[in-house]
Chain A
Amino acid sequence: MTTTLVRAARPLGAEPRDLLLRDGLVAEVAPAGTLTAPDGARTVEAEGLVALPGLVDLHTHLREPGREDAETVDTGTRAAALGGFTAVHAMANTAPVADTAGVVEQVWRLGREAGWCDVRPVGAVTTGLEGQRLAELGAMADSAAGVRVFSDDGKCVFDAVLMRRALEYVKAFDGVVAQHAQEPRLTEGAQMNEGAVSGVLGLRGWPAVAEEAIIARDVLLAGHVGSRLHVCHLSTAGSVEIVRWAKARGVDVTAEVTPHHLLLTDELVRGYDPVYKVNPPLRTDDDVRALRAGVADGTIDVVATDHAPHPVEDKDCEWSAAAMGMTGLETALSVVVQALVEPGHLDWAGVARVMSQTPARIGRVASQGGSLQVGEAANLVLVDPAARWTVDPSAMATKGRNSPFAGRELPARVVATFWEGHATVLDGALATARPAEAGSTWTR
């Protein structure tokens, strides 16, 4: 395995350090200019670059199996590596649904074969995502994939009894239920955020209360049964308030927000371009402000992409016929810098916390989410904080062309990504995949 000397990077934005990556581990860390590269080692000049622990996405749609026209594990994890991720949680809404040990092991194996990052399958909470009966959560937990995150994402676990049982049941193997909070009756046929814009556009509204009512119920349920709960993609000011209240009461709840909900609003829907169609929908300025404040004060624990690639034909149509979802892996870090770092809500250590350390802890990914200390797995990303780039979906590794940031200039660029010491990205471009047999003991 290649040994790499990273010269003069700023770990988590602090003073420059040389980092030696050897045998998949961070072997040495010393003041900049003090380490010399061993014979045969690769040297990466990282002066001016920020080093972060490899990013961990809690919410990725890789589409395989079933929708390989939209994305595959290979293309999706290439995109992840380019975005600075060393682990992604692959959502369960595939075809077949990831509701058995067989399917989650298949996805996990595809991830290892692809070799771009750690793929952690998410197991469905209910069979077929149908909300009727529990899937074999324990079998998925005990499988080679070692599933710890369970979600019917795309659909809400609406039945209160089923949700309660799921919250309770996963305690046996330290799992967590990640809820897609959407009251189904209040959102039948919903097309966009319900508010002044939907009224003018004549599009059926997705009211904030449909998200908030489920979150309120679930934090109460989690408190009652003493389970941990994760809430996917918070999108409203009211949701932030409810989670803040629950945390103050001691409920073991964590919450996530997507990059797009931190930057974009429903005003963009006025042109009826389906690239802005997403679930939960883009909300208002007030919501964006509240979500940013929620990340700043720790109410929201993680930023997760909800990367949702779609083939062109599913977006190249009229609004109501279009699929919901946006790509996000290759823009996430830049959007976080624009929405949270530049306005002063987060420093680089904060970025490491919300995009790597906390998601790794929630997903129980032991080898990830470190802080670049000697002895940790060498998962890290080098970021050029001064770079600016213009988003061009056609140049992305994801099969999805549905980036809502197309044409925007964004700050900060991923220069290199190391997954357990293996360079998946160098000079801002894909390097090489890690051979499958090189999988370390870190990955179950």
Chain B
Amino acid sequence: MRHLLSTADLSRAEAVRVLDVAEQMAATQQREIKKLPTLRGRTVVNLFFEDSTRTRISFETAAKRLSADVITFSAKGSSVSKGESLKDTALTLQAMGADAVVIRHGSSGAPLRLARSGWTSGAVLNAGDGTHEHPTQALLDAFTLRRHLVGGGPGGGPAADRVGADLAGKHVVVVGDVLHSRVARSNVHLLHVLGARTTLVAPPTLLPIGVETWPCEVSYDLDAALRGDVQGPVDAVMALRVQLERMDAAYFPSAREYSRRYGIDAARLALLPPHASLLHPGPMNRGLEITAEAADGARSRIVEQVTNGVAVRMAALYLLLAGEDA
């Protein structure tokens, strides 16, 4: 891998390799000394044009645990917020000798633009661009699902049971604001390449024109999808964040109606087979797309997703900067 811009660019082998390396990284994180010398002397720049404390901290932690030098530019308190262009910022980073640039940007396509422009020679890692993609989120979701759905079962048996495996035959329901979700786009590509089936559920206003061309099924009826009426029994459900401001633009009438039709609660989780998992990319709007009871319940893998995020991002940085070609 030269860059990690979109999960649509990943082959099955490359995707599985990231998950396998992430298993190794996760294993090291169980040790008392978590830091590896792998990226000593390499510089990773976190370039956050959009505020996202969670993702930024996850990437910083991943890079530091690999012993990289980490520089973070974030929107607040840097030249970025003063209207300095992506190009000028990138040229500055290039002058600093960035080996990898982790970029979060409000404009769809900004990481691809950065990778193709020649403004930086470093590897570019997309940490979320506009409403386009968020590939490491999809990879950590797949990592979490593989741990629970493949091999040893819930929580994971020995990692060796999962190494090399994809998600063939698994069925994931993704519910929420697909239109504005970079997480949904990255997941649809990745789950498809890993052999899983995906059902997208949303009100029609929150689905993009052209969604019928995506490698997934679409339903407006969450209960039918969870019952297995759309693509068979469900192995996992992923609730997407819904921003309340969408209400003002008439995407849906009220928070109450949204919750009633598309929110995840305990009653809806009861429609699922016993082994099925619940995921959410965070941050959650409790009470809107997910109830507290569901988020904190036994099926929830939401806290685990955060932990796995560090391992997956370590794997991505390792493969981009030190890995042999996957």
Contacts and interface: CB of A to CB of B under 8 A. Distances in A.
Interface of A: 191, 194-205, 207, 271-273, 313, 316-321
Contact of A200 (B87, B110, B130, B210): B210
B86 A203 contact: no
Given A313-B85, A318-B86, 12 more contacts: A197-B210, A200-B8, A200-B185, A201-B109, A201-B132, A202-B108, A202-B131, A203-B108, A205-B209, A273-B113, A321-B86, A321-B107
Contacts of A195: 209-210
Interface string B186-222: 0000000000000000000000111101100000000
Contact of B109 (A196, A199, A203): A203
B108 A201 contact: yes
23 contacts: A195-B209, A197-B210, A199-B209, A199-B210, A199-B213, A199-B214, A200-B214, A201-B109, A202-B130, A203-B130, A204-B131, A271-B116, A272-B109, A272-B110, A272-B113, A273-B113, A317-B87, A318-B113, A319-B109, A319-B113, A320-B106, A320-B130, A321-B85
B113 to A, nearest CB: 5
B108 A320 contact: yes
B133 interface: yes
B112 interface: yes
Nearest to A313: B85
A236 to B, nearest CB: 14
Contacts of A194: 209
A392 B234 CA distance: 55
Interface in B72-123: 85-87, 105-110, 112-113, 116
A204 B211 CA distance: 14
B210 A272 contact: no
B209 to A, nearest CB: 5
A156 to B, nearest CB: 21
A200 B8 CA distance: 10
A10 B112 CA distance: 49
A271 B117 CA distance: 11
B162 interface: no
A367 B211 CA distance: 53
Contacts of B8: 200
Which 7 pairs from chain A and chain B are nearest by CB? Answer: A272-B109, A196-B210, A199-B208, A202-B132, A202-B131, A199-B210, A320-B107
A316 B129 CA distance: 18
Contacts of B182: 202
Nearest to B249: A188
Contacts of A197: 210
B107 A319 contact: yes
Contacts of B210: 195-200
B97 to A, nearest CB: 23
Nearest to A274: B113
Contacts of A318: 86, 105, 107, 109-110, 113
B50 to A, nearest CB: 12
Nearest to A321: B107
Interface in B1-34: 8
A240 B86 CA distance: 39
Contacts of A198: 208-210
Interface string B268-285: 000000000000000000
A199 B208 CA distance: 5
A248 B172 CA distance: 53
Contacts of A313: 85
A319 B106 CA distance: 11
Interface string B129-144: 1111100000000000
Given A202-B132, A272-B108, A316 B87 contact: yes
A94 to B, nearest CB: 25
B43 to A, nearest CB: 23
A207 B208 CA distance: 12
* From B8, B86, B109, residue with most partner A Cβ within 10 Å: B109
A254 to B, nearest CB: 31
Scoring B85, B108, B132, B133 by chain A CB atoms within 10 A of each residue's CB, the highest score goes to B108
Contacts of B85: 313, 317, 321
A264 B41 CA distance: 46
A288 to B, nearest CB: 18
A203 B214 CA distance: 16
